[in-house]
């Protein structure tokens, strides 16, 4: 039975399509919007439409931005030869809040997860490899300390080691809780994990294994 009428029901259905939003949460959001002042509701709707129309992927780091390149990539104060690889724009924002990283980023928009059907071709690994060159000094793999995060980091490290052997590869230290999402970790812990990063054991061992096989 439709208790609320066509427009309210449609609004609830739209909120229910958002990730992590169940039926009750969708109803609460819908009722909240309906009780907002009209100008606030119009501003919310306008912001959604404008963001959808103007936000794009940065052609360099793949972060979400309304300018291309994004502010970080276009800054003359950043070290373009040091690249930190993160899962999402939220993780990039978390590291930016620490104010300790002076390089640039690469946003994968996901992690390799065979159980969920996410393969290397589904995330922005190809774009990362394309931006590496002889001037690239270090790639910091800052994916979360989860099975998916570690798998993705090792996969990327292997590709870079085999194709760009002179680039230093490092992994953030385990100050980040195992299984923790970076966007929820406090700034001091993230800064400590960055400073305590360790160089990954890559390249030669893998090349020898490939030759043996």
| pLDDT higher than 90, residue 138 | yes
User: Strand, coil or helix: what is 97?
Assistant: helix
Q: How far apart are CA 109 and CA 90, in angstroms?
A: 10
CA 160 to chain CA mean position, Å = 19
DSSP characters over 101-124: --EEEEE-SS--BGGGTB-GGGTT
**Per-residue pLDDT tens for 143-167?**
988 889 999 999 999 999 999 989 9
- Its sign, for the CA torsion 119, 68, 61, 184, is negative
What is the C-alpha end-to-end distance of the chain, expressed in Å? 64
Most confidently modeled of 48-62, 136-150, 182-196? Answer: 48-62
Q: Name which CATH class applies to 6-54.
A: mainly alpha
Task: Give ranges for CATH 1.10.8.420 in the chain.
Answer: 6-54
Considering only residues 122 and 200, tell me which one the structure prediction assigns the higher pLDDT.
122
Could you tell me the two tokens for 122?
């589904």
Q: Is the pLDDT of residue 21 over 90?
A: yes
Count of CB atoms situated within 10 Å of the CB of 83: 22
Give strand pairing partners of 86.
Answer: 107
Looking at the chain, the domain(s) classified CATH 3.40.1360.10 span 75-212
> Among 71-80, 144-153, 188-197, where is mean pLDDT lowest?
188-197
Distances (CA, A) of 190 to 15, 25, 86, 160, 183: 33, 31, 12, 24, 10
Radius of gyration of the chain (CA): 21
**Class of the CATH domain delimited by 75-212:** alpha beta
Residue 188: C-alpha distances to residues 7, 97, 98, 172, 184 (Å): 46, 10, 7, 13, 12
């Amino acid at each position: 039975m439709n208790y609320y009428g066509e427009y309210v029901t449609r609004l609830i259905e739209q909120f229910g399509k958002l990730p992590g939003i169940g039926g009750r949460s969708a109803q609460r959001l819908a009722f909240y919007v309906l009780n907002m002042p009209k100008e606030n509701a119009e501003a919310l709707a306008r912001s959604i439409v404008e963001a959808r129309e103007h936000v794009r992927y940065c052609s360099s780091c793949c972060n979400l931005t309304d300018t291309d390149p994004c502010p970080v990539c276009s800054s003359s104060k950043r070290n373009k030869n040091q690249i930190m690889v993160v899962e999402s724009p939220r993780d990039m924002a978390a590291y930016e809040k620490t104010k300790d990283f002076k390089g640039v980023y690469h946003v994968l928009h996901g992690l390799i997860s065979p159980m969920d059907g996410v393969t290397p071709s589904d995330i922005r690994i190809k774009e990362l490899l394309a931006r590496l060159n002889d001037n690239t000094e270090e790639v910091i793999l800052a994916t979360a300390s989860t099975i998916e995060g570690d798998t993705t980091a090792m996969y990327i490290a292997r590709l870079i080691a085999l194709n760009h052997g002179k680039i230093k590869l490092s992994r953030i230290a385990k100050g980040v809780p195992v299984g923790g999402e970076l966007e929820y970790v406090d700034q001091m812990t993230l800064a400590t994990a960055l400073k305590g990063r360790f160089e990954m054991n890559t390249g030669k061992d893998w090349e020898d294994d490939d030759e043996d096989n």
